[in-house]
Amino acid sequence: MYRSLVTLRYAKALFLQAEEQGVSDQVLADVQELQQAFDAYPDILRTIEHPVIQTSKKKCIFSELFQERISALTLKFIHLVLKNRREAYLINIFRNFRDIYNEDREIKKVELTTALPLEAGEKEVIKKLIRQSFHARKVDFNERIDSEIVGGFIIQIEDQLLDASVRRQLQMIRKTLSDKNAIVS
């Protein structure tokens, strides 16, 4: 679970500092860039989280790699996390920062899975329904295509999941029939 007290406190502190300085959007972009870097080069994160490497060396590594690419506030924050020996929490701090940012801006993150690509008009109808239902100003929409669901859709909005796929309906029918067969036997 990434919503531990430690990660929430650090994320909130970063968010409040970014808001105070008026650089929240830049810090969000920094966080996303750092996460992309960690995903592309997992050795960076392993090195930063390694307990034997000294904090000063870790700060140098971050500065060398990211000083030109991220804001001074983000780099200063990372140095604070390293100084306090909380580097193992960095990824979850970033996740919580994004959640806090999205909540503050009333942005809903949506993952939509369909069997076939949707047309632009259909996407807009879905976004409008989500904005109305969840009182969101903006919908951050990510569409995935998965032919295995056969038809229908699966939509995940934050921690809520609605599975209206044909695959799910077939599974439910199969389960119902097998339960009835077990009773008859």
* Gap between the Cα atoms of 154 and 112, Å rounded: 6
pLDDT score at 112: 93
Provide the 3-class DSSP secondary structure of residue 164: strand
Query: What mean pLDDT, rounded, does the chain reach?
Result: 91
* Gap between the Cα atoms of 72 and 74, Å rounded: 6
Task: Count Cβ neighbours within 10 Å for each residue of 28-54 and write b for 16 or more, e otherwise.
Answer: bebbeebbebbeeeeebbeebeeeeee
pLDDT score at 78: 97
- Among 107, 97, 105, 111, which residue's Cα sits nearest to residue 161? 111
pLDDT score at 184: 60
Token pair of 78, please?
A: 């990372």
pLDDT score at 64: 94
- Tens-of-pLDDT digits for all 185 residues of the chain? 567 899 999 999 999 999 999 999 999 999 999 999 999 999 999 999 999 999 999 999 999 999 999 999 999 999 999 999 999 999 999 999 999 999 999 999 899 999 999 899 998 998 898 899 888 899 988 999 999 999 989 999 988 898 999 999 999 998 888 887 766 65
pLDDT score at 2: 66
